[in-house]
Each structure stands twice: as C-alpha cells, then as structure tokens.
Amino acid sequence: MMKKVPFQAVAPILKHFELSDDVVETVDPALSPEQLVTHLLKLEANIDLANFWAHALPMRESIWWACIGVSKRTEVLKPLEKQVLDASLAWVKNPTEPLRRQIEVLIEKLPNESASKWLGMAVFWSGSGSIAPIDNPIVMPAEFLYAKAVGGAVNTAAALPEWDGYKLFYKDVFRSAMDLANGGTGTVEG
C-alpha cells in the first residue's frame, strides 16, 4: 500500500473523476492503486493516469506534484507563468491566504492553455479559503476542484507548447507521483 494513498481499492478515488471512454471499460474499481497505475501505464493512458494521481494524492502533495510537472517546462514559460510557478511553489511550502489571493490575481492574465494558470487555479481552489471575491460572503470550492486543476496543469504541461518530449515528461512525472505516494519528495530523477 502506498503511504499517502491509503486505499485498498481505487473505487473511492474514481468517484471523483471520469476515466476516458476507451479506458473506463477496462478498469475494475476493486483494483488496488498500484494495480491501476500499472494498468494505465500499460495502456499508455497518460491523461487518465495524470488525473488519477491528481485525485489520489493528498491536496498539498497533489499541488506540489503539479509544480514539479510545470517546472519540467520552465524553458517555455513566459515571465508571468514563471512567477505563478514560483508563487505556487512558495504556497505549497507555506500556504498563506495572502499568497493564495496573490496567485488568484496573477492567473487572471494567463490563457487557459497555460499550465501555470491551471497550477495557480489548483492553489486557489485548494480549499484553504473562499473562492468568492474578498468582500463577498465565503464560498468554498467543490471537493476535489483543486485536483481537476492539478490534472489540467500536468496534462497541459505535457502537451503545450507541442514538443516531442511528452512521453518522457509523463514517465518522469509519474515516477515523481509514485515517490510522493510512497512518502518521498517527488523530486526523483530518471
């Protein structure tokens, strides 16, 4: 059993997101997390596996994992995207409300095709504070909304801008996710 994913079967994790149509029929919800990871790797179902890790890891580890993924594409990040990445890394290490709100402002200027925007959304939707404007009544994000953004960040970093290294990218980030799941830092090199 993975230290940070304490489930005997993946059913409780799978209820929070949908597997792709071509994969869902091949997955038994009674599989262990390790078995599902092996199965999805064998199918090369990278988007589904990224979404699984985003939902399976605890919130801060999940967002840290997205930081690791986005960091692997720093050479293509624009200055504002790098600023969001740096602020998100700082937030994971010390999650303060002012920093979360600062990230909210920064990501407003980024397009949806930006992995950094999705990373910033994960921080903003982390559940550590309201997602309503500051002077409005408190509105907490839906459960696992941050995980949707984590999956978006990792999968966007893999795909955009287009490059030939996406398969190695997924291999590296999945290795990091497994390390995190087993209680490591996620900063393993392959």
Q: Where exactly are the structural domains of the chain?
A: 10-56, 59-175
- CA distance to 69, 84, 90, 93, 106, per residue, from 80 (Å): 17, 6, 15, 20, 7
Tokens, residue 67: 């930081």
Please give the model's pTM, rounded to 2 decimal places.
0.96
Q: What is the model's pLDDT at position 189?
A: 59
* Nearest alpha carbon to residue 78 among 52, 116, 47, 28: 116
Q: What are phi and psi of 127, to 5 degrees?
A: 90, 5
Task: Report the distance separating Cα 177 and Cα 184, nearest Å.
Answer: 9
Query: Number of C-alpha atoms within 13 angstroms, CB side, residue 25?
Result: 2
> Each residue's pLDDT tens digit in the chain (190 positions)?
799 998 999 999 999 999 999 999 999 999 999 999 999 999 999 999 999 999 999 999 999 999 999 999 999 999 999 999 999 999 999 999 999 999 999 999 999 999 999 999 999 999 999 999 999 999 999 999 999 999 999 999 999 999 999 999 999 999 999 999 999 999 865 5
What DSSP string describes 74-141?
Answer: GGG--HHHHHHHHHHHHHHHS--HHHHHHHHHHHTTS-TT-HHHHHHHHHHTSSSS--S-TTSPP-PP
Rg (C-alpha) for the chain, rounded Å, is 16
Q: Give every CB contact of residue 17 below 8 A, 6+ residues apart in sequence.
A: 51, 52, 54, 55, 144, 147, 148, 151
For residues 87 and 102, the answer to whether their CB atoms sit within 8 Å is: yes
Tokens, residue 146: 């941050």
* Burial of 108 from C-beta contacts in 10 A (0-12 / 13-18 / 19+): exposed
Q: What is the model's pLDDT at position 13?
A: 97
